[in-house]
Amino acid sequence: MNDADPLKIGIAGLGTVGASTLRYLVDENARIAARSGRGLMVTAIVARDRAKDRGVDTSGMRWFDDPVAMAKDDGIDIYIELIGGADGVAKASVEAALSAGKPVITANKALLAHHGAALAKLAEDTPGASLHFEAAVAGGIPAVKALREGLAGNGVTRVSGILNGTCNYILTEMEETGAAFGDVLLDAQKLGYAETDPTADVGGFDAAHKLAIMAAIAFGRQIDFAGVEIEGIEAVSAEDIVAAADMGYRIRLIGMAERTTKGVSQRMRPCLTPTDSPLGAIEGVTNAVMLEGDAIGATVLTGPGAGGGPTASAVLADIVDVARGNTPPTFGIACADLSPAGDGVDTGDEGAFYLRVTLDDRPGTLAEIAAALGEEGVSIHRMRQHDHVGNAAPVTIVTHACELTAITKAKERIAALPASVAPPVSMRIVES
């Protein structure tokens, strides 16, 4: 390939992101090419429906029915995978393109979370190949570049963030309307913010994929998705939202990966965080990434975490990097220097917790709760009993700092009490 020749691009998948990427590459070609220092030309595409109007003329492009065939084709220089899915044709086509010595650009967080280490090794071992994935983490927010390049001189201590717009929209709407989780989820589905099967979003799995990718870069480790402790927002109630607000907190699904004296921990779960904190202030479908390093301290990046335009922006940034020859190691350092997945994992967690219990309203029940907590070494910082719902008395408790294991055992004790009429709910309190 002559550096004076235009780079020939093949795009697999013309959904929301793929169609937006194609339109920018056609409509804004001169501007993007000028910034790239190379001509850019989309020469090949793969999509299920050839007849669909995508707002751009595709008549001069070669259509493929098989992404793997396009990935191998000598008529493209860069393969862009926007199909999605951890396995199947997405994985096969990326492997084919890397094996053929082509740069690959993908927005596929599930693929990377499950197969990132092997794909990075394939890219590293194959001349001409490289793997780029800015669009796989936080949509239009340049989180990958910030971690891998902008903070390359830092010893990163913690990566945290709000990484799923669907969950943040639901929690924000619950705050503003007082509606229950299920009702807001239905509205989110009608508006297109949530999928028909919302499990990946509300269960925390989508955001956990992104956290695992960022943790790999931050701490020089192979991706360890299996090591992420995941809890979704399904159990968050309107009562929790109100109780948190009364204490000056908001509930957010927060991913946090940090290096401790015991190793590296990775957690994705709903937390209470101060309303005026960088993450507590994030509303609606907006995402936020907080990066903390020994030299910079803390820096926060916010912006749209999904959507055609924002995610296409990240894809285009990777195209420009490839054109400029900016192809750093996939996860910041050579694969041989990455710590193995599962090595040095910290499964502990110490801090203050919010606890909601629902009790049968009878004498002595609060004493039973206090005793159950005390038997596991959990100290109560403050306690509040709320208005009765029939004969049930909701009680919210904020603990002093304790281990997650102690809270978990205390919840088991409380759930077994005759006075407990609903499973206890707990959430970590994150102050920053």
pLDDT in tens, 84-115: 999 999 999 999 999 999 999 999 999 999 99
* Residues carrying an active site annotation: 210
Query: Do 126 and 233 contact (CB within 8 A), yes or no?
Result: no
Which among 128, 106, 84, 43 has a CA at the least distance from the CA of 314? 106
pLDDT in tens, 356-372: 998 887 788 888 889 99
Question: pTM of the prediction?
Answer: 0.92
DSSP letter for 147, please. I
What pLDDT does residue 270 have?
A: 97
Same domain, 89 and 204: no
Q: What are the DSSP calls for 201-227, one per residue?
A: HHTSHHHHHHHHHHHHHHHTB---GGG
Same domain, 293 and 159: yes
What pLDDT does residue 388 have?
A: 65
Same domain, 110 and 182: no
* Number of domains comprising the chain: 3
What pLDDT does residue 200 have?
A: 93
Residue that the structure tokens 């924000």 belong to:
172
CA separation for the pair 121, 124 (Å, rounded): 5
What pLDDT does residue 3 have?
A: 63
Query: Do 280 and 430 contact (CB within 8 A), yes or no?
Result: no
Q: Is residue 326 part of a domain?
A: no
Q: What are the DSSP calls for 367-381, one per residue?
A: HHHHHHHHHTTPPEE
Residues of the domain holding 233: 143-306
Q: Is residue 171 part of a domain?
A: yes
CATH number of the structural domain spanning residue 231: 3.30.360.10
Mean pLDDT for back-to-back runs of 10 residues, the chain (432 residues): 80 94 95 94 93 87 96 97 95 98 97 96 97 94 95 95 94 95 92 88 96 96 94 94 93 94 90 95 94 95 90 96 94 93 74 91 85 93 78 87 92 91 92 80
What pLDDT does residue 391 have?
A: 72
> In the listed set 272, 287, 306, which residue is the last one of a domain according to the structure?
306
> In the listed set 81, 97, 132, which residue is the last one of a domain according to the structure?
132
What pLDDT does residue 359 have?
A: 85
Same domain, 300 and 199: yes
Q: Is residue 416 part of a domain?
A: yes
| Residue 99 exposure: Cα atoms within 13 Å on the Cβ side | 13
Same domain, 274 and 172: yes
Reported as type and span, the H/E element at residue 259 is strand 249-260
**Largest alpha-carbon pair distance within the chain?**
83
Residue that the structure tokens 């004296």 belong to:
261
| Residue 362 exposure: Cα atoms within 13 Å on the Cβ side | 7
Same domain, 266 and 186: yes
Same domain, 79 and 165: no
Cα-based torsion angle of the residue sequence 313, 316, 321, 323 in order, rounded to the nearest 10 degrees: -160
Same domain, 216 and 271: yes
What pLDDT does residue 261 have?
A: 81
Which among 42, 103, 41, 111 has a CA at the least distance from the CA of 71? 103
Give, in order, the Cα–Cα distances in Å from 86 to each of 90, 249, 378: 7, 36, 41
